[in-house]
Structure 1
Amino acid sequence: MVSMQLFDSERRVIEAAERLAATLGSDSNHTVAAAAMDTAGRIHEAVNVYHFTGGPCAELVVLGVAAAAGAGPLVTMATAGDRGRGLIPPCGRCRQVLLDLRPDVLVAVLTDDGPTLQPIRKLLPDAYFFPHADARRIVRFNKRYYEAVATARKTTTIRYDDPIALGPAIFLFEDEETHRTLNGTVIGVERDRLDRLTAEQARLDGFMSVEELNKGLQGHYPGLPADAEVDVVTFTVEAPDAGSDTQS
């Protein structure tokens, strides 16, 4: 697993978890700290409650803390152990809960190359999906696309190995200092081959040509094969003044 470049906001989540974990150690009932960021950029923190009956892990406690604060969907989560253990991955139960309730969260994991983020779905492959979780979905965009998406000049996004669900979603613009978001709806997801994309699809994705689109995709997905199967995702968006600050 190769470490990816972390945004400053993502590093703050990791630092918050490690900072809280460093305060633990005197009470054996609380040994793990978790931090999670919502779409407004707020960081919520919590610790585990150890008990022989299966007291909740820090990841589950922070879900409750965030919900109590009206956080809505969470975009990044990190967990750290006491006594200098550093980042630790979520257990199997927590992975299943996160996949069901916060299916678009990125989780910090430690690799040989340092901290990196993994989509929760990749931490629990071939998983069972709870059909009634009714989780609000998130679609991530580079921050440079905010104006194009907000003004409906960009109504398509091409994704590789990044499943997008149909229906309402919060459009999150990553690495945005003001944490601007838009409310939108994914109205179509069609599978196509990268080398079969058309000039019209490139234009709807905000590019001037197929060649420019391919260059952009290669920058986002290094080593993307020319014949890769990609998802062509079409969407609509609400006016920014109606939905840019909505977090629920």
Structure 2
Amino acid sequence: MVFTKLFDSERRVIEAAERLATTLGSDPNHTVAAAAMDTAGRIHEAVNVYHFTGGPCAELVVLGAAAAAGAGPLVTIAAAGDQGRGLIPPCGRCRQALLDLHPDVTVAVPTDDGPALRPIRNLLPDTYFHPDADARRIVRFNKRYYEDIAAGRKTSTVRHDDPIALGSAIFLFEDDAVHRTLNGTVTGIERHRLDRLTTEQARLDGFTSLDEFKKGLQDHYPGLPSDAEVDLVTFTIEASDAVR
């Protein structure tokens, strides 16, 4: 999945990496800059440390810098090269580390049409998963759903090709100017064919009819076939985050 239309927050991450890259001089030990945003909207920056023993890439250094700042799970990451090289994709080692430590991060990559954001899992398909990584998960929502989720009016979502894990997660409302998040728990995941969903399931997701529900999904996932498999995800939020 390629996100060709970027959120303002995603553009800020890319711009931060590119801006830092322009400050790198002729030192051959520091040639790539990286920036990463956490769920609070903070941007962390770092540069690579080249060394013949295998010094870390900028993406790995920025993971450490973010952890030192108590960032928690990261939302978006980008890297840029010095001497005007612009946005660059992560190497294989960085992809594996990102997938294990921040499995829901999106990564900025260059394309013929400009920067695009891709889920890290799409950059490393059929990969090994480090079983002890114990990463905090993120579930992304459109920012317009914040009030309904906080008030308990919306307790489910339907996703396509968007792996979500059972258990606790940070609910992130994308491109929200005040970076609001909720702490929640994914309680159930059921796979259905799109053409076999029911009106009751549509209403659980806040739609008034099945046709409206299917149209909303196909607008969100352009080209989604009528017989596609989708996941019906149910969730709760922590009582302390609920709006009464």
Is the TM value for this pair above 0.5? yes
CA separation in 1, counterparts of 2:25 and 2:218?
A: 46
Contact 1:150 1:239 in 2 (8 A): no
Structure-2 residue corresponding to 1:221: 221
Deviation string, structure 1 residues 121-146 (Cα, Å, up to 9, x no partner): 00001100000100000000000111
Deviations 1:141-181 (A, max 9, x none): 00011111111111110000111011100000001000000
Matching residue of 2:111? 111
Q: Which secondary structure state, in structure 2, belongs to the residue aligned with residue 172 of structure 1?
A: strand
1:18: Cα distance to partner? 0.2
Question: C-alpha distance in 2, partners of 1:150/1:204?
Answer: 15
Secondary structure, in 3 states, of the residue corresponding to 1:211?
helix
Aligned partners of 1:152, 1:210: CA distance in 2, in Å? 21
Q: How many Å separate the matches in 2 of 1:2 and 1:221?
A: 11
Does residue 1:38 correspond to 2:29, yes or no? no
RMSD across aligned positions (CA)? 1.4
Q: How far apart are 1:4 and its partner, in Å?
A: 1.5
SS of the aligned residue for 2:169 comes to: strand
Identity of aligned residues (%): 81
How far does the alpha carbon of each residue in 1:1-59 deviate from its partner, in whole angstroms, 9 at most, with x for none? Answer: 86521000000000000000001132110000000000010000000000000001000
Q: Which 5+ residue runs of structure 2 have no aligned equivalent?
A: none
2:38/2:73 contact within 8 Å kept: yes
Distance 2:132 2:241 in 1: 31
- TM-score w.r.t. the length of structure 2 is 0.97
- Give the Cα–Cα distance (whole angstroms) in 1 for the partners of residues 164 and 9 of structure 2: 23
Gaps of 5+ in 1: 244-248
